[in-house]
Structure 1
Amino acid sequence: MFERFTAEARAVVVGAVGHAERLGVRKVREEHLVLALLDGRTGRAAAVLAALGVDRRRESLERELLGARRRAGLSRADAEALAGLGIDLTLIVDRVEHGHGAGALDPGRTARGAAVRGPLFGPGYSREAKAVLKRALRMATERRERKIGDHHLLLALTAHPGVVAETLADHGAGLESVRRLVCAGVAGGGRGRAA
């Protein structure tokens, strides 16, 4: 399948490995794919993210994604539901981290600098990240496109409900807005350029 990826999509997959290693986790996860998409300077996903202004809100987006991981992957909606039951998730996370160290609730955490191992679709990718890659393939096939582009990865990330899609939507890249720009032919070739 990797041979069907465009150069930009390959760069995203490879870049996600780098983000996982930098953050000291064992597996590439959806949020690493998002960060690698934001690193892109060319390609349709870069143009879509720029058109939506997401690239200018990278720090906020990254902080929210990493904060969700700190909360054991619970979304803001999950935290609000717990708060409705009288459970202060922030207080619980703080207590656990006080006793066990920062990131203690993140099940994917490993020693800083540990390498992500495994080939594409191997043990180095989380189940969710593999699902994103497979969903991107399906989206390309449904659109009768021979190559899997970075825009298919972006669409796949926004299409699956969860923390990553919620965070992207909160930062202006919900499924419908991304789909609209992809279908309208927003083209790559540099940040903010659209056709």
Structure 2
Amino acid sequence: MFERFTEEARRVVVGAGRESAELRHGHIGTEHLLLAILAETEDPAARVLIEAGLDRAAAREAVRRLLGEGDDARALAAIGVDLDAVREAVESVFGAGALDAPSKEEPRRRGWFRSEGRAGRSPFTARGKKVLELSLRESLRLKSGHIAVGHLLLGLLREGDGLGARVIADHGLDFAAVRRAVEVTTG
């Protein structure tokens, strides 16, 4: 399936893992896919949401409000330590990813979902996996021959019950209108 993904769509899937890690969540869900879609600011499908007022910063704040951050972040925040500020300061001196745990070399496994128990990776939730599956169905429905960022967003809208969809709905966006606009840009 992933051989059909455009370079941008692959960046979204990888970016979702990065979003999860930055928020210190132990999973990759629809909310992380949404954040990674919104990071593709030049993509026409992402522009549909951004031009409707839902950018990555607003979505990230909504995810934090709805889901929070990992336990470590909450505990440290309670005593006045802002982990985002600490990470930013360390990375400004030592480079991006300086605080990330070193990954152990493992034999390469096939499949994007085989992340359970692997260092530095979070597992996809059932809803997150469903969005990826539905993106393929959207691509087939539109006779695209590939899976682009727009298909991922259409899959997220079609799944409709995950936190990513809730962030879109809570922002006051109409799913049908967003779907129509994304279909025009994705084709």
Instruction: Please give the range of the TM-score, normalised by the shorter of the 2 chains.
Output: 0.5 to 0.7
Structure of greater relative contact order (alpha carbons < 8 Å, 6+ residues apart): 1
Contact preservation (8 Å) 2:30, 2:163: no
1:137 Cα deviation from its structure 2 partner: 0.7
1:113 Cα deviation from its structure 2 partner: 5.0
Query: 1:40: which partner in 2?
Result: 40
1:101 Cα deviation from its structure 2 partner: 4.1
Which residue identity does 1:12 align to in structure 2? V
Structure 2 residue ranges without an equivalent (≥5): 78-98, 117-122
1:172 Cα deviation from its structure 2 partner: 4.6
Which residue identity does 2:113 align to in structure 1? F
Superposed CA offset, 1:15-65 (max 9, x none): 11111121222321111111111111332322222332322xx33321221
Contact preservation (8 Å) 2:28, 2:125: yes
Contact preservation (8 Å) 1:28, 1:126: yes
Secondary structure of the residue aligned to 2:155 is helix
TM-score by length of 1: 0.65
Structure 1 residue ranges without an equivalent (≥5): 72-96, 104-111, 188-195
Contact preservation (8 Å) 1:158, 1:173: no
Which residue identity does 2:59 align to in structure 1? L
Number of aligned pairs? Answer: 151
Q: Structure 1: how far apart are the matches of 2:126 and 2:18?
A: 18
TM-score by length of 2: 0.67
Contact preservation (8 Å) 1:26, 1:115: no
1:184 Cα deviation from its structure 2 partner: 2.9
Among all aligned residue pairs of Structure 1 and Structure 2, give the percentage whose two residues are the same amino acid. Answer: 34
Contact preservation (8 Å) 2:127, 2:162: no
* Equivalent of residue 61 in structure 1, options 59, 62, 66: 59
After superposition, the Cα gap between the structure-2 partners of 1:146 and 1:158, relative to the gap in structure 1 and judged at 3 Å, is same
2:113 equivalent to 1:121: yes
After superposition, the Cα gap between the structure-2 partners of 1:171 and 1:114, relative to the gap in structure 1 and judged at 3 Å, is farther
* Equivalent of residue 68 in structure 2, options 64, 67, 70: 70
